[in-house]
Copies of this chain bind each other. A is one copy, B any other.
């Protein structure tokens, strides 16, 4: 039953996409190759015709999902920028990213949130894919922060500060999203509150002045024991 090269490539992509959704929804250890293959429409035996191992599939799925999301992000921000007032694109993106819909749709959601725990625990190939994806986000948000915004207290930031603020923004968004997902079944009110506070915090980060004595400067001595 040999297939054409084109069909083989389509089948391979179907496996990657099934893996992408399943890994996001239930984690690397929570999904078997059998389920990935049958979700993609195949029996499990043919898996190793396409991939060297489960780990290699996970790394490729991570890479592929980030690329797709980044492309969608760029298009989305551009469109929002045209539709909104100056500086409003980021606000609208935040509303979508920290929405109940995004929280509840893990399988189709941003991989930076759903794969963050697996990336720390899997091999270096997956970590590299994850790091590359995060770098892409940081670059996009840094650029976005350069756009003029009438509500900004200090409109002209230098590029180093834009990068720092973009990084804090990404941490804020992903932290709020993973936390709201972690409590959504047991405490829906807290889950919603986490989303709202994340949106609020992201806006504060955008408009906050540079701290006079940054905690992140690394200049303060840390000689006592770690506490948490």
Residues of chain B lying within 8 A (CB to CB) of residue A29:
27, 29-30
Task: Point out which of A121, A181, A182 has the most chain B C-beta atoms below 10 A from its C-beta.
Answer: A182
A14 at the interface (CB under 8 A from B): no
A171 at the interface (CB under 8 A from B): yes
Task: Quote the shortest CB–CB distance from A147 to chain B (angstroms).
Answer: 16
Would A205 and B208 be within 8 Å (CB), given that A29-B27, A134-B179, A190-B131 are in contact?
yes
Task: Quote the shortest CB–CB distance from A154 to chain B (angstroms).
Answer: 12
The one of B112, B197, B208 that contacts A171, using a Cβ cutoff of 8 Å: B197
Q: Are B172 and A215 in contact (CB under 8 A)?
A: no
Closest to A90 in B: B215
From 80 to 132 in chain A, residues with beta carbon under 8 angstroms from any chain B beta carbon are: 91-99, 101-102, 105-106, 109-110, 112, 114-121, 124, 127-128, 130-131
The number of times this chain is found in the oligomer is: 2
Residues of chain B lying within 8 A (CB to CB) of residue A204:
165, 168, 204-205, 208-211
The one of B94, B128, B215 that contacts A215, using a Cβ cutoff of 8 Å: B94
Complex Cα spacing A120 to B70, Å = 24
From 132 to 166 in chain A, residues with beta carbon under 8 angstroms from any chain B beta carbon are: 134-135, 151, 164-165
Task: Quote the shortest CB–CB distance from A64 to chain B (angstroms).
Answer: 15
Question: Which 7 residue pairs of A and B lie closest in terms of their CB atoms, listed nearest first?
Answer: A175-B175, A168-B201, A29-B29, A117-B117, A199-B216, A167-B197, A208-B208
Q: List 27 A-B contacts (CB under 8 A).
A: A72-B228, A94-B215, A95-B220, A96-B227, A96-B228, A106-B120, A109-B228, A116-B117, A117-B118, A128-B186, A131-B183, A131-B187, A134-B182, A134-B183, A167-B194, A171-B194, A171-B201, A172-B172, A172-B201, A175-B176, A196-B217, A203-B213, A203-B216, A204-B208, A207-B208, A208-B208, A208-B209
A residues neighboring B (CB under 8 Å): 26-27, 29-30, 69, 72-73, 76, 91-99, 101-102, 105-106, 109-110, 112, 114-121, 124, 127-128, 130-131, 134-135, 151, 164-165, 167-176, 178-179, 181-187, 190, 193-205, 207-218, 220, 222, 224, 226-228
